[in-house]
Chains A and B, each alone.
Chain A
Amino acid sequence: MKCSQIRRKLSAFMDGELDGGTSRLIEKHIDTCPGCREYLHEFREVDDLVHGLPKIELSLDFTSRVVSEAVKTSNIASRKTVTFGSSLRILLARLSDAVFNLFEPGAPPSTRTLDELGDCPPLSMGYIYFKILDQSNGG
């Protein structure tokens, strides 16, 4: 193997990620090649420098803060899902009810709160307007 090929493998070699045969080949090479030995030495220096960066300390209450925050946000998320789900169901039910009533003018009259509804011909703009108004009033 040439030096350039050996050097490409040095990173995996120092991490112990090469198979036994390749590792032995590299070991043998660096024993006799000062250039590749220096290369490996510099790779190790890089690792030492990165590893030696000062450790950052957490604030004292970090653990308790994280636990309570996680539990709190998780509860809010599940509550929101339930509330959103129920609201959506109610909205859909009302909407389908309104549409069904709109296109079935012969349906038995509901407990209408607006008298004007009866004065407009079925499917006219006025009928639709008062029908929607009636629905939003809870009729």
Chain B
Amino acid sequence: MVDPDLELVDATGRGDQEAFEALVVKYQGPLLNFIARYTGDRFIAEDITQEVFIRIYRAAPRFQPRTKVSTWVFSIACNQALTEMDRRRRRRSLCEAVSRSRDGGYDETGVSPAERFELEEEIMSALGRLPDNQRAALLLRVNEELSYREIADVLGMTIESVESLLFRARTTLKRHLDRK
């Protein structure tokens, strides 16, 4: 079966802005929600989503239709979100080091944002504690309904690894939510 988005990417690669806009409209919602849950920060998700689309626009002329457009789009999103998370972790650890040196070892604990609902907060926190690849696999499966083959393409691993990641992710979340 021909991927219906292939034409859009092809036209985007030739500089067709309308085709690019159609691509943005189709993927902006799923990407924003995936990135917000993957990074655990809804406030930076929109900026990352925008960056993902800029990368898609630039990479469109070189797109090789070996994989589905959706898996290509989510691969870019995963990489971009991971890069941003690494950057934030480095910045956070630097800030913590500065804070510790200023406060003489005092370790300030984070306060949860008041506007978050309790359950949502618990799930988001449990999701955040999963290893990056388990969280990505779970979100791609549960929210985007990607097959194991597609998830394997996005994350660059085997189908067996995806099966194992999903099993471990669900078991960890189940155990965590059981304790609540």
B-binding residues in A (CB < 8 A): 8, 10-12, 15, 17, 42-43, 45-47, 49-51, 53-56, 58-59, 62-63, 65-67, 69-71, 73-74, 77
Whole-angstrom CA separation of A135 from B98 in the bound complex: 50
Q: Is the CB of B119 within 8 A of A49?
A: yes
Q: How far does the alpha carbon of A67 sit from the alpha carbon of B57 in the complex, in Å?
A: 9
- Residues of B bordering A, CB below 8 Å: 17, 20-21, 24-25, 28-29, 32-33, 36-37, 42, 45-46, 49-50, 53-54, 56-58, 119-120, 123-124, 127, 138-139, 141-143, 147-148, 159, 163, 166-167, 170, 173-174, 177-178
- Inter-subunit contact A53/B174 (CB<8 Å): no
Which chain B positions have C-beta within 8 A of A67?
17, 20-21, 24
Point out the residues of chain A lying under 8 angstroms from B119, CB to CB.
49
Identify the interface centre among A51, A53, A62, A73: most chain B CB within 10 Å of its CB.
A53
Q: Determine the distance from Cα of A89 to Cα of B50 in the docked complex, in whole angstroms.
A: 35
Pair A66/B148 contact, Cβ less than 8 Å: no
Query: With contacts A50-B173, A63-B25 known, is A11 near B33, CB below 8 A?
Result: no
- With A46-B173, A50-B173, A56-B36 known as contacts, the answer to whether A12 contacts B54 (CB < 8 A) is no
Report how far A54 CA is from B163 CA in the complex, Å: 26
Shortest Cβ gap from B37 to chain A (Å): 6
Decide if A15 touches B148 in the complex (CB within 8 Å): yes
Contacts of A12 in B (CB 8 A): 148, 163, 166-167
Chain B residue nearest to A44 in the complex (CB): B170
Task: Report the separation of the CA atoms of residues A77 and B57 in the bound assembly, to the nearest whole angstrom.
Answer: 12
Q: Say whether A49 contacts B148, CB under 8 Å.
A: no
A66–B141 CB distance below 8 A: no
By a CB distance below 8 angstroms, the chain B residues around A53 are: 37, 120, 123-124
User: Which one, A8, A58, A71, contacts B29 given CB within 8 A?
Assistant: A58
- Cβ A17 vs Cβ B147 within 8 A: yes
Contact B46–A62 (Cβ < 8 Å): yes
**Across the interface, do B58 and A74 meet the contact criterion of CB distance under 8 Å?**
yes
Beyond A49-B123, A66-B49, 4 extra complex contacts between A and B, CB < 8 Å: A10-B167, A11-B166, A59-B46, A66-B24
Bound-state CA distance A138–B25 (Å) is 54
Partner of A74, one of B29, B57, B167: B57
Could you tell me if B36 and A63 are in contact, using CB atoms closer than 8 angstroms?
Answer: no
Shortest 5 CB-CB distances between A and B: which pairs?
Answer: A70-B57, A11-B167, A70-B54, A46-B173, A66-B53
Within the complex, the shortest CB–CB distance from A60 to chain B, in Å, comes to 12
Residues of chain B contacted by A66 (CB below 8 angstroms): 24, 28, 49-50, 53-54
Q: Are B50 and A69 in contact (CB under 8 A)?
A: yes
CB contacts (< 8 Å) of A11 on chain B: these are: 163, 166-167, 170
